[in-house]
A and B are shown apart, each in its own frame.
Chain A
Amino acid sequence: NAGVTQTPKFRVLKTGQSMTLLCAQDMNHEYMYWYRQDPGMGLRLIHYSVGEGTTAKGEVPDGYNVSRLKKQNFLLGLESAAPSQTSVYFCATLMGGGNEQFFGPGTRLTVL
């Protein structure tokens, strides 16, 4: 079992470019989350999903969109990247009724 995987691992964008980060899980977990981690700020929740076809806003959703068309995948999109979106992005999953979020290895994104 791969657990939680994130694609890509690293990416450099220019301001205004768009991209999609993919989170995939093989644990059949209902809940999925996207966080960003910045120095001195800690992990902050961007968007989350409580099941296939559902999404909801977290603490810092502006500038991001998400989709969960399949239970095993959670996509995070940046339509027009800004330097303020330079960060490390983590995906996490949670089994319904569980208490342990499983985190992926992260995607390091730099926006120039």
Chain B
Amino acid sequence: EDQVTQSPEALRLQEGESSSLNCSYTVSGLRGLFWYRQDPGKGPEFLFTLYSAGEEKEKERLKATLTKKESFLHITAPKPEDSATYLCAASDTGFQKLVFGTGTRLLVSP
């Protein structure tokens, strides 16, 4: 059974304090590894898709990387507006049936 596990559950950072979020997955025949951001009371918002081990994608202060078993979301010099829940998901089909992790709740204090 496909499984996605995220750690930590919650992370508190000071503004400017870089860190990484982890997503480990057990998916046979990975077709894509996805990162989403979710603000309270809203739907998830797409960040990145990674397709193969070694791939990296960047967007502002965020950088996602992928290995054969894990993905990391690196946050460099975070700002309070980066506070949100970050969701990782994996798909093993062409119809993008996503299996989500439970998310990491990030709080960045000024």
Number of interface residues of B (CB under 8 A): 21
Most buried by B among A4, A90, A101, A102: A101
Residues of B within 8 A of A44 (CB): 100
Task: Let me know if B44 and A90 touch, CB within 8 A.
Answer: yes
Q: Mark B27-46, 1 if CB is under 8 A from A, else 0.
A: 00000101000000111111
Name A's interface SS: strand
Task: Let me know if A42 and B103 touch, CB within 8 A.
Answer: yes
Contact (A104, B95) CB under 8 Å given A40-B102, A42-B100, A99-B32? no
Task: Let me know if A103 and B44 touch, CB within 8 A.
Answer: yes
Task: Let me know if B42 and A41 touch, CB within 8 A.
Answer: no
Q: Given the complex of chains A and B, what is the CA–CA distance between A31 and B95 in angstroms? A: 8
Interface residues of A in 67-104 (CB under 8 A from B): 90, 92, 94, 99-104
Q: Which residues of B contact A (CB under 8 A)?
A: 4, 32, 34, 41-46, 49, 87, 89, 95-103
Q: List 7 A-B contacts (CB under 8 A).
A: A42-B103, A45-B97, A48-B95, A48-B97, A94-B96, A100-B46, A101-B96
